[in-house]
Amino acid sequence: MGFLSREKISGTQVVGDKRISTVQAPRPQRKSFFFNLYFGTLSLLKGMRVTARYFFRPSTWVTQQYPENRQELKMFERYRAELTLKYDENGYHNCTGCKICDSACPNNSIKVIDREGPSGKQEIDRYIWRMDTCTFCNLCVMVCPHDALEMTGRFESSVLDRRLLVYQLNRYAGATKKNIEKSKDSESKDLLLKSFESRTFYEGAIPLSTSDEKGIFDGRI
Amino acid sequence: MSEREATIFSLIQSCCSEVILNEGSGSFSIQVPSEKLVFVMEHLKKSESLAFVMLLDHLAVDWKEMGEFELVYQLYSFKLDQRIEVTTKIPRAIPNAHSVSRIWPIAEWQEREVYDLFGIYYINHPDLRRLFLEDDWKGFPLRKDYEDPFMLELVKE
Amino acid sequence: MIEVGSLKARMESTPGGLKTEEYFVNMGPQHPSTHGVLRLVLKMDGETVREVIPVLGYIHRSIEKIAEHLNGRQIVHLTDRMDYLSSAMNNWAVSLAVEEALQIELNPRIETIRTIVAELERIQSHLLWWGVLGIDLGAVTTFFYGFRDREMITDILEETTGARLTLNYIQPGGLMFDIHPHFVKRVKEVLAHLKIKICEYETLLSENVILQNRLRNVGILTSEKAISMGSTGPVLRGSGVALDLRKQKPYGVYGSVEFDVPVGSVGDSWDRYWVRVEEIRQSMRIIEQLIDNIPEGKFMVMKPAKKLTLPKKSYFGQVETARGILGVYIQGCEKEEPHRVHFRSPNFNNLWVITQIAPGGKMADLVATLSTLDLVIPDIDR
Amino acid sequence: MSWEIQTIADRAAGATSMAEVGAYLVLGVVLGLAIVSLMGLILNYSERKICAHIQCRLGPMRVGFHGLLQPIADGVKLLFKEDISPRNADRLVYIMAPFISLLATFLIVVTVPFSPLVQIADLNIGVVYVAAVSGFGVLGVLLAGWSSNNKWSMMGAMRAGAQMVSYELSAVLALLTVVLLSQSLKLSEVVLSQEQGWWIFRAPVVGLVACVIFFVASCAEINRTPFDLAEGESELTAGFHTEYSGLRFALFFLAEFVNMFLVSAMLVTFFLGGWMPFHLGGLTGFNEVMDLLPPGIWFLGKVTVVVLLFMWVRWTFPRLRIDQVMNLEWKILLPIGFANLFLTSIVVLLDLYLF
């Protein structure tokens, strides 16, 4: 009884040489004036019961009060909000400046600038990431052969000027620790270590905004 | 090519002998001369044994080096449960093609999209206007020789 | 009952009688019920819609042109932004085409996870649609209920893929990540929760006399018209044609699971409504069959940085998204970047149906019809 | 227990000096204004809270304790907003429309019997007056839609006009039922006639039916979902007040909320006994226990319940289509209303009261 029949109307349809099992949609039925009036009112009352149930059950309310719950708010560990270089406890990262992430980036948001190290080997000078064009596709993290990159969940990155969304990710320029340990030639190793010591540390990601750049900083230096 | 596709192909060839198989496609595809296009399409839809009643998709490919546009139609037949790709080539210098919007109404808008982005003029089209871009847009962006001073190119060293 | 048309004709035939005038209204690009930046130019006669002229291009981002400069792996993330509610399926379509081109064989684990994620995505898409349909018809509360339950699914997806909407999870050759250790447990929880909630949805909206009256015999799309307009997905199935790629050309592991294809009988808005609600149940059925036995294996069968050189051939990958058949046409030319990429978006074809079925109905019917067509505008404009 | 009714108008009439008359006059106006503005604030807040809780949300939480000061904050915000009028609008009508809307509500406040001693004026044709003045409210909506020079507003206004005028009919028919039962047009006497029991219970079935009809019809009259076609956000963007902003918009908003209160007050007055405590025929003991609560509290309590009902309905149902709205009125409510009126006359003739 009622407007909708509860029973499932199964059927089959043939498309090409395949038989496809289907479920038929029931039609809402309308009959006499009083039938419609009775079941119409009944359906409305049933709907009202559903909403009333929620009204009286505060446990079902789901609102999160965002700025107040900052302490409890935890993003999932894979959440993609900010690209960072992984730093170990001593503050070393693994980036060698191989530029694989640079070429994998679909919208040119990553710019890796190399320089020639003291031993003649290429090493990282600056790792520049433009958050304003980044689509957080994770391809850079996926392709990185040295496991140097990761996406973190720091999502509060709004700024008032788009130019402030250009970051330098590496805190120091120079060869990675691994490369230094690998180099057998003790002379070059010393040379590398020397350059390594004189590295300059930066705190956190550094916005690269230069007001004299016309318009938006485009990553080309 | 499966057995069924071979029968379909022979059925199509019996109505128009100029139809050839298109080798440059990963799926079942035929190539039709552009002047025979409407005729073959009509046959594909109306013929009872084929009944390609649904025009899934229509697109164009710009082959600049060969001086050609390739028009691709994806058809689907419920009766055969088969998708077919119909392609035709028109010269790049005179990009005119016949509209199939009388056979499938949806072609009217799909052709408008292709016109908008490739500048292919469809003869007998009821309402050939730009679809996505503004009416006073200059040029056809998906052509390979399209240049736009504002277009941001990826700069790769 | 007196036909309004005949009354009007009589009025006009009498000299000096009443005259009515048709007028144009712009519905959109900023209108609450066009769900984005779609603009419909309406020719109205009082409350009755006489003609609908869609005007597109307000969110045209030229994805097809951009994709010509990217390689097969990079294209995937653009498809997230087309039909953002079925981004997993969009990713899958590109991956299918690229995998076909490069002849990559996948292992069953990848296929199973892909199927589960795609079905979760389908459920969340339909839940969002259900809520928005309520808002379009004036029942604001359903919107929040739909979003509340959808949130649980996006949470699962977020935990596994790191994103809520633009997943970029299914990659050519496998997946971006392996599933999260909590994935199976949480999916089961959500399914149990949804089973109860769907009954609630039925009482709140499906059985509601007002909703039935609003949707019944409104925007009737006959099966012939639906086929000739090239509409797919729930719109076509609502018209009674059981075309579902998951059954027709099973990709993933759809061939080995059992599910029914919901179809309508008349092709009106009610049928489309019911088909979508039933599809939620069928998707849940699919996930239930798969979730307990996800096979072991790698989640990526090739090196992540491998070059994807496409042969000089064209490939057409199709999947059934939440809105219909998404086709990806990729023409390679012996380079990493494809020569031409084209997306056959389901919404594009479904949109034009409105020009055929809305005229003659009321303004409110147009809103109901638009809502049951479930359009995502960025997918139309691309 | 006999109730002594004394309205402000009565007191003014019995006044000895002109100063006293003036004082009562000022008191009446201030009381009316206070009710209008206070109800606007309270209902605004409660509507938002209730709809939020129904929708699993918390609602306003930031301004004051649990957002208690939110309506005031909103009012201040609207006050300082730029008051835009469209270029080709009919300026005079455009400015007037919100005031007309508010005026209609204000005129009804005058007759509402809050308690035996709190009532601004008690007209002897109260029912006719209420029916007439509530029809006046349509004018504001119509003029707003017309003068905005916007097709959406126009459509909304036309819908509102058609709908409100039609539903007026059913509402008045339902009121007539009570007039038949209580045999008076005076609101205070309508209330007094329910001393033996409220009409919704006392008149067998017909009272209930009339009450439901009045509820539905008044729901349509004050343009709330499922009858909010005039605003119909998803169809007409905002309907008749699309072009309004700032203070004028606030006035429409206020009128809408106060209208809801008034309609509930009327429903309570006619069917739920107004300020009359819950009495059951000759059960004197029971009645006396009921009388312990003052009539003003009874009135407000009942109005609260009805207002909650209105909100509950609004946040549950989808909106009807314009032709369905008309069908509901002319094909369902009106025939039932007429039949009900006929049955009521039988009830009155044969004295078939329940207790």
* Model pLDDT for residues B44-73, shown as the tens digit of each residue: 888 878 888 888 888 888 888 888 888 888
Q: With contact defined as beta carbons under 8 Å apart, do A16 and A1 qualify?
A: no
Residue C314's nearest CA partner among B33, B19, B61 is B61
The one-letter amino acid code at C295 reads P
| C141/D318 Cβ within 8 A | no
Which of chain B's residues have a Cβ under 8 Å away from the Cβ of C60?
132-133
Residue D23, pLDDT score: 83
Distance CA D311, CA D313 (A): 5
The one-letter amino acid code at D227 reads F
Q: Is the dihedral angle over the CA atoms A139, A140, A141, A145 positive or is it negative?
A: positive
Count the alpha carbons within 13 Å of B42 in the hemisphere toward its beta carbon.
10
Number of Cβ within a 10 Å radius of residue C250: 15
Distance CA C342, CA C64 (A): 6
Distance CA A126, CA C107 (A): 40
Q: Examine the pLDDT at D82 and tell me if it is beyond 80.
A: yes
Angle between helix D246-271 and D151-182 (nearest 10): 20
| C151/A143 Cβ within 8 A | no
Is A40's Cβ below 8 Å from some Cβ in D?
A: no
Q: Which two tokens stand for residue C261?
A: 């294809």
Which of chain D's residues have a Cβ under 8 Å away from the Cβ of A46?
none
The angle at the Cα of A179, spanning A178 to A182, to the nearest 5 degrees, equals 90
pTM confidence score: 0.88
Distance CA D133, CA D150 (A): 27
Which of chain D's residues have a Cβ under 8 Å away from the Cβ of A51?
54, 312, 315-316
Per-residue pLDDT band for C7 (boundaries 50, 70, 90) equals low
Which of chain C's residues have a Cβ under 8 Å away from the Cβ of A25?
238, 262-265, 270-271, 274-275, 278
Question: What b/e string do you get for A15-36 counting C-beta neighbours within 10 Å, with b at 16 or more?
Answer: beeeebebbbbbbbeeeeeeeb
A101-115 average pLDDT score:
82
The pLDDT mean for chain B works out to 83
Per-residue pLDDT band for C11 (boundaries 50, 70, 90) equals low
D67-90 average pLDDT score:
85
A95-109 average pLDDT score:
83
Backbone region of residue C106 per phi and psi (left: phi > 0; alpha: psi in -120 to 50; beta: other values): beta
Q: Is the dihedral angle over the CA atoms D68, D73, D79, D84 positive or is it negative?
A: negative
Q: C63-381 adopts what CATH topology?
A: Cytochrome-c3 Hydrogenase; chain B (1.10.645)
Q: Is residue D25 part of a domain?
A: no
What 3-state DSSP class applies to D204? coil
pLDDT digits (tens, 9 = 90+) for A41-80: 888 888 888 888 888 888 888 888 888 888 888 888 888 8
pLDDT digits (tens, 9 = 90+) for C68-97: 888 888 888 888 888 888 888 899 988 888
CA C166 to chain centre: 15
Q: How many angstroms away from the CA of A42 is the closest CA of chain C?
A: 9
Q: What is the value of ipTM here, to two decimals?
A: 0.85
Is A42's Cβ below 8 Å from some Cβ in D?
A: no
Q: For the purposes of burial, counting CB atoms within 10 Å of the CB of A57, is it exposed (0-12), middle (13-18) or buried (19 or more)?
A: exposed
Give residue for tokens 């204004």.
D33
Which of chain B's residues have a Cβ under 8 Å away from the Cβ of C241?
78
The residue in chain C having the minimum alpha-carbon distance to the alpha carbon of residue A78 is: C162
Q: B3-94 adopts what CATH topology?
A: Beta Polymerase; domain 2 (3.30.460)
Which of chain A's residues have a Cβ under 8 Å away from the Cβ of B154?
107-108
- One DSSP character per residue, A17-75 reads TEEEEEEEPPPPP--SHHHHHHHHHHHHHHHHHHHHHHHT-GGG-----TGGGTTT---
Residue B155, pLDDT score: 47
Per-residue pLDDT band for A193 (boundaries 50, 70, 90) equals low
Going by their DSSP bridges, the two strands A82-85 and A149-152 should be labelled as antiparallel
Cα diameter, chain C = 83
Number of Cβ within a 10 Å radius of residue B136: 6
Nearest CB neighbour to A47, from listed D50, D58, D316: D316
Lateral strand order in the sheet of B68-77: B20-21, B29-33, B82-91, B68-77, B54-63
> Which residues in D9-122 belong to E strands, given as ranges?
none
Which of chain C's residues have a Cβ under 8 Å away from the Cβ of D331?
none
Residue ranges covered by each domain of chain A: 31-60, 82-207
Q: Is residue D46 part of a domain?
A: no
Q: With contact defined as beta carbons under 8 Å apart, do C203 and A46 qualify?
A: yes
Distance CA D150, CA D87 (A): 11
pLDDT digits (tens, 9 = 90+) for C340-369: 889 988 888 888 888 888 888 888 888 888
Domain A82-207 has CATH 3.30.70.3270: yes
B in contact with D (at least 3 C-beta pairs within 8 A): no
Q: How many angstroms away from the CA of C345 is the closest CA of chain D?
A: 26
Per-residue pLDDT band for C17 (boundaries 50, 70, 90) equals low
pLDDT digits (tens, 9 = 90+) for D97-114: 888 888 888 888 888 888
Q: Examine the pLDDT at A194 and tell me if it is beyond 70.
A: no
What 3-state DSSP class applies to A173? coil
| Residues near C224 by beta carbon (within 8 Å), at least 6 away in sequence | none
Residue C248, pLDDT score: 83
- In this complex, which chains have at least 3 CB pairs below 8 Å with chain B? A, C
D245-272 average pLDDT score:
87
Distance CA C366, CA C31 (A): 13
| Residues near A56 by beta carbon (within 8 Å), at least 6 away in sequence | none
Percent of chain A with pLDDT over 70: 73
More confident: A215 or D184: D184
Q: How many angstroms away from the CA of B6 is the closest CA of chain C?
A: 19
Q: For D333-339, which contacts have Cβ atoms below 8 Å and span 24 or more sequence positions? A: D333/D167, D333/D170, D333/D213, D333/D216, D333/D217, D334/D169, D334/D170, D334/D173, D336/D209, D336/D213, D337/D169, D337/D170, D337/D173, D337/D174, D337/D210, D337/D213, D338/D173
Q: Which two tokens stand for residue C293?
A: 């036995």
Is D160's Cβ below 8 Å from some Cβ in C?
A: no
Give phi and psi for D65, each to the nearest 5: -65, 120
What 3-state DSSP class applies to B57? strand
D249-272 average pLDDT score:
87
Is A18's Cβ below 8 Å from some Cβ in B?
A: yes
Q: Which two tokens stand for residue B85?
A: 């790709």
pLDDT digits (tens, 9 = 90+) for B80-93: 888 888 888 888 88
Residue A204, pLDDT score: 43
The angle at the Cα of A84, spanning A83 to A85, to the nearest 5 degrees, equals 140
**D155: containing domain:** 77-350
Q: With contact defined as beta carbons under 8 Å apart, do C114 and C252 qualify?
A: yes
| C203/A47 Cβ within 8 A | yes
The angle at the Cα of C136, spanning C134 to C140, to the nearest 5 degrees, equals 50
Residue D290, pLDDT score: 75
Going by their DSSP bridges, the two strands A110-116 and A122-130 should be labelled as antiparallel
Q: Examine the pLDDT at C324 and tell me if it is beyond 80.
A: yes
Residue ranges covered by each domain of chain B: 3-94
B in contact with C (at least 3 C-beta pairs within 8 A): yes
Give residue for tokens 């003649």.
A120
